[in-house]
A and B are shown apart, each in its own frame.
Chain A
Amino acid sequence: MSEFVTETPEIEPKTVIRKRPRPKKEPTPVKGFRLDLFDWIPGLKKFVRLRSFQFLVILPNLFVFHILFIAGIFGTPVGNKNIMIVFIWILWWFILIAVMVPFASRIWCAICPMPFFGDWLQRRALIKVRSGKTKGIKNKMFGRNLRWPKRFSNIWLQNITFLTMCTFSAHLVTRPIVTVGVLGSMVLLATVLALIYRMRTFCNYICPVSGFLSLYAMTATVELRSKDTDVCLKCKTKGCRTGSEDGWACPWFVYMGKLDRNNYCSLCMECMKSCPNDNIALNLRPFASDTQIRGYDEAWKGFIMLALAMAYSIILLGPSGTIKDWANVAETHAWGGFAIYTLILWSVALVIVPGIFYGCILLTRRLAKATHIPMKEVFLGYSYLLVPLGLLAWIAFSVPLLFVNGSYIISVVSDPLGWGWDIFGTADFPWTPLWPEYLVFPQIALLLIGLFYALNHSYQIGERLFGSSEAALKGSIPMGVFSVGITLAFLKFFTG
């Protein structure tokens, strides 16, 4: 008779897995020098404290925006002869990515005309503040003021809207009517959402431009911060967050006591008016001072931006006519090619680049002997490298846009609609590329600067994550290889 013998497995002593304590959401300690620009620039503090500050800075932009819209609708459909395309996709884009973002953070959001109408309807005021009570806020707000669903309270929607918009970039940046359609939809959506949801829901969670501004503003050489976080913690009114009779509650729901990154501060300066303690500084600081990515949504924004910079370098600045035909589907009707192009673009942005990065993270953890540290923590920690790498690659990409095609600006100011006008006598100014053969040199320099910051931060992030310089050194090898690989790819596109 056979006997069933069940072997009792030897019980091993339980491995005690100690969970790493969740880091408290304390503001990150400040590193590097800080210089309060309110102390150094006479009159600046007084200006931003004006009740009319935001209205004054948006107004000229709103005027230009209307002219561009008129030109987009009624002007010539030829992109390089229409002021809308030339001003937005050559001039504005270059200033935004190469000047505003690295040197002035999200200043564009402070002067952006798109949420203007929504703000107006929500506040029913252009300049003055309304005291009162609206769902925990000490301002009287109009509209339904609903909370945005929590599951969408991240930048995933912005990631998707941006990627979708950029899939059609060959149309967007060359056809005025497409730009009108996209920007018009954004204004409409921002206005409708302002009537339904509280504050600047559109800017916070949907605006495709806001997503990459939030990511790259981390590098900016200015920041709006509290002078002393203890003062904020002891503050009973929390006027910055909840508003006061002097200022509107922060449209981005920011509480200054915990603000330690530029990502979600639009520099609207309402907090300067609502803070009862005069505790806010506009600091000058070293480049790339905010170094913490706090969610996969932000990390994927970094991957998407990097992939798009590569894609644009190939489609717009590259020589291949076939790829241009695929991207330019409205004219060529190459739907099969467009499908291939879309599939490749989305795969590279959402799967392939993140996949390679994930492989490097696995190697980093192994080399640093840090397998006890959660994967998410290491992944998000190192994903900051995508920020300097991506931003500098985008600036390098944008250099030829301005220097090669910038002369169109001179001609379109005289003939903004392409109707044969000659307002300033420059309508016939010929297309004159500026030093096109030398542009590779600033492009190379920009890429190397991006690589320098990425490499430098890879070591610092390693020290922060692993707490050991030995592990940081080993960890910086795979991450360095990743960063070098990305840089070499861009070098190939621009110079190879």
Chain B
Amino acid sequence: MNSLGKSAVVVVLITALGGFAGAWIAWNSDEPTSHYISIKARQYAFEPSVIRVNRGDTLHIKLISLDVVHGFFLEGYDLDAEIFAHQKSFNIRHPSKGKEWSEVNEFTLITNRRGKFRYRCSHTCGSMHPFMQGELIVQPNTPFHASVGGTLGLFVGMLWIFAQRRKTRLFDNGEMSAPPDQSRRAGDRQAAPH
């Protein structure tokens, strides 16, 4: 493998290592708990706009619309709802299992996936409808922490490459003697009988 290939491998490894370290540091093992959350929808926001829970928690969720008909599509959990203005009940379905709606007053969700999942309005509700969304953050947020670790790892890896390049340049310019292992190898080659 040439030096460019080696450098690439080292950078990828350090980046990956950073990613694993980030995910590991953020790991927690809190006991699962239950949360009772009432989400209010209005043009063009959900309240609360951010919900932070731990993996394995049970969420009991009620949906209420304060103005017009809204939707509630929770990505990653195969869940879609239709919320009518000022009504306690709402319609719910699992999009992967069909188009049929069921009318409920509350639904329960166990947060078995880690990361950030958006809940978006799925029913056209006005001009800013495509951007009406909230965030369910399930801790440990592995993708985020791993990507932060990976970013720092990439930085460290690149600095390592620059340091290697610097050494090579100094050596090429004669401003630095050959590294010990390299001189030894050069000496070996000279000494080797042909």
Contact check, B143 vs A444: say whether CB atoms are below 8 A apart. yes
User: 8 Å CB contacts to B: which residues of A244-285?
Assistant: none
Contact check, A456 vs B158: say whether CB atoms are below 8 A apart. yes
Partner of B50, one of A319, A441, A452: A319
**A464-496 interface bits toward B, Cβ cutoff 8 Å, 1 = contact, 0 = none:** 000001101100110010001001100110011
CB distance from B18 to the nearest CB of A (A): 10
Complex alpha-carbon distance, A470 and B150, angstroms: 26
- Chain B residues with CB under 8 Å of chain A are 15, 42, 44-47, 49-50, 73, 75-76, 113, 115-118, 120, 122, 124, 126-135, 141, 143-144, 147-148, 150-152, 154-155, 158-159, 162-163, 165-166, 169-170
**A307-341 interface bits toward B, Cβ cutoff 8 Å, 1 = contact, 0 = none:** 00000000111011110110010010000000000
Partner of A451, one of B49, B151, B166: B151
Residues of B close to A171: CB separation below 8 A: 127
Contact check, B124 vs A81: say whether CB atoms are below 8 A apart. yes
Contact check, A477 vs B159: say whether CB atoms are below 8 A apart. yes
Contact check, B165 vs A459: say whether CB atoms are below 8 A apart. yes
Complex alpha-carbon distance, A437 and B115, angstroms: 9
Complex alpha-carbon distance, A469 and B148, angstroms: 28
Contact check, B159 vs A476: say whether CB atoms are below 8 A apart. yes
Residues of B close to A488: CB separation below 8 A: 148, 151
Known contacts A488-B148, A495-B141: A317-B154 contact under CB 8 Å: no
Instruction: Answer yes or no: A385 CB below 8 A from chain B CBs.
Output: no
Which B residue's beta carbon lies closest to that of A80?
A: B130
How many chain A residues have a CB neighbour from B under 8 Å?
51
Known contacts A456-B158, A496-B141: A328-B151 contact under CB 8 Å: no
Partner of A79, one of B118, B127, B169: B127
Contact check, B116 vs A440: say whether CB atoms are below 8 A apart. yes
Which B residue's beta carbon lies closest to that of A89?
A: B130
Which A residue's beta carbon lies closest to that of B146?
A: A444
Instruction: Answer yes or no: A107 CB below 8 A from chain B CBs.
Output: no
Instruction: Answer yes or no: A455 CB below 8 A from chain B CBs.
Output: yes
**A430-471 interface bits toward B, Cβ cutoff 8 Å, 1 = contact, 0 = none:** 010100110011001001100110011001000000000110
Contact check, A451 vs B162: say whether CB atoms are below 8 A apart. no
Contact check, B165 vs A495: say whether CB atoms are below 8 A apart. no
Partner of B133, one of A319, A431, A451, A495: A319
Contact check, B155 vs A491: say whether CB atoms are below 8 A apart. no
- Chain A residues with CB under 8 Å of chain B are 77-81, 170-171, 174-175, 315-317, 319-322, 324-325, 328, 331, 404-405, 408, 431, 433, 436-437, 440-441, 444, 447-448, 451-452, 455-456, 459, 469-470, 472-473, 476-477, 480, 484, 487-488, 491-492, 495-496
Which B residue's beta carbon lies closest to that of A439?
A: B75
CB distance from A443 to the nearest CB of B (A): 9
Residues of A close to B129: CB separation below 8 A: 78-80
Partner of A473, one of B133, B135, B166: B166
Known contacts A451-B154, A469-B170, A491-B151: A440-B115 contact under CB 8 Å: yes
Which B residue's beta carbon lies closest to that of A441?
A: B143
Chain B contact surface mostly: mixed
Q: List 10 A-B contacts (CB under 8 A).
A: A80-B129, A324-B45, A444-B147, A451-B155, A456-B158, A470-B166, A480-B159, A484-B151, A488-B151, A495-B144
Which B residue's beta carbon lies closest to that of A481?
A: B155
Contact check, A320 vs B45: say whether CB atoms are below 8 A apart. yes
Contact check, A455 vs B155: say whether CB atoms are below 8 A apart. yes
Best-surrounded residue of B15, B46, B166 (most CB of chain A within 10 A): B166
Complex alpha-carbon distance, A316 and B130, angstroms: 9
CB distance from A297 to the nearest CB of B (A): 29
CB distance from A481 to the nearest CB of B (A): 8
Contact check, B75 vs A436: say whether CB atoms are below 8 A apart. yes
Contact check, B162 vs A175: say whether CB atoms are below 8 A apart. no
CB distance from A453 to the nearest CB of B (A): 10
Known contacts A433-B120, A440-B143: A473-B163 contact under CB 8 Å: yes
Contact check, A321 vs B154: say whether CB atoms are below 8 A apart. no
Which A residue's beta carbon lies closest to that of B163?
A: A473
CB distance from A494 to the nearest CB of B (A): 8
CB distance from B122 to the nearest CB of A (A): 6
Contact check, B154 vs A455: say whether CB atoms are below 8 A apart. yes
Residues of B close to A433: CB separation below 8 A: 73, 75, 120
CB distance from B111 to the nearest CB of A (A): 13
Partner of A484, one of B73, B76, B127, B155: B155
Best-surrounded residue of A320, A480, A495 (most CB of chain B within 10 A): A495
CB distance from A387 to the nearest CB of B (A): 17
Residues of A close to B49: CB separation below 8 A: 319-321
Residues of A close to B134: CB separation below 8 A: 319
Residues of A close to B116: CB separation below 8 A: 440, 495-496
Contact check, A431 vs B143: say whether CB atoms are below 8 A apart. no
Contact check, B144 vs A436: say whether CB atoms are below 8 A apart. no
Residues of B close to A496: CB separation below 8 A: 116, 141, 144
Contact check, B166 vs A472: say whether CB atoms are below 8 A apart. yes
Which A residue's beta carbon lies closest to that of B75?
A: A436
Extra pairs beyond A79-B129, A328-B44, A476-B162 (5, CB < 8 Å): A170-B128, A433-B75, A448-B151, A448-B154, A484-B151
Give the 8 A-B CB pairs with smallest separation, nearest first.
Answer: A321-B45, A437-B76, A319-B49, A436-B75, A469-B166, A469-B169, A495-B144, A455-B158
